Amino acid sequence: MNTNYQTLRRILLSLIGICSIFQAADAAPFIYQPRDLILGFRKDGGSFELEVNVGQASRYYNASAGSTFTISQFTIAQLSDSFSDFSSLQWSVGGTVRLGDGGDTSIPVSTLWVTQPRSDPSVQTTPWIRQSSGALAGSSTKIVSIANNAVSFSGTIPSGPDNTATAVQVQSGDSVIYAGTSP
């Protein structure tokens, strides 16, 4: 009887192990960590939006004016799969510091890293005006929700070329879309 119990126990543990492999395969591949910057692409009337995690904001802290960085977290194929053409394609980048996120404490809570549209591509826009962390808390929450919604959406669809650890294509009209949560 003890031998049967041991055999049954081994079979049960093996089944649990196999099930955990399948669960890991279904896990959300899009990854977001606090202080990551999220690059969002959208197009009015488009079928999809593309959200890309371009990594930690600290990568860009000491960049000098005119610096360039290679962003390899998404491919032209992912962009082409998301948009039929690139005319009128809109994009923005956002990131934030949240209380207790474990990052560099010299960067104040509710610091925002966000883009601002230019009316003339060759002329830099006026920088954002500094505000208190309380005044920026709502925008900070929206930025984090964009990233967390991408993680959640990613977990509802199979992994593949348009659902990776660094980029996820989200169907327009879905409640988690990037366009619906602009700061």
**Which residues fall within 8 angstroms of residue 132, CB to CB, at 6 or more apart?**
110
Q: Within the chain, where are the H helices?
A: 2-26, 76-82, 133-154
Residue 20 placed within a domain: no
List pLDDT tens digits, range 125-135. Answer: 888 888 988 89
Give the pLDDT confidence of 21-74 residue by residue, as tens digits.
444 444 559 999 999 999 999 998 888 899 999 999 999 888 898 899 999 999
Residue 107 belongs to some domain of the structure: yes
Q: Decide if 11 is inside a domain.
A: no
Q: Which domain holds residue 50?
A: 28-181
In a domain, residue 19? The reply is no
Residue 93 within any structural domain of the chain: yes
User: What's the rounded Cα separation, in Å, for the pair 25 and 22?
Assistant: 5
Q: Is residue 16 part of a domain?
A: no
- The tally of domains found in the chain comes to 1
Question: Residue 1: pLDDT above 80?
Answer: no
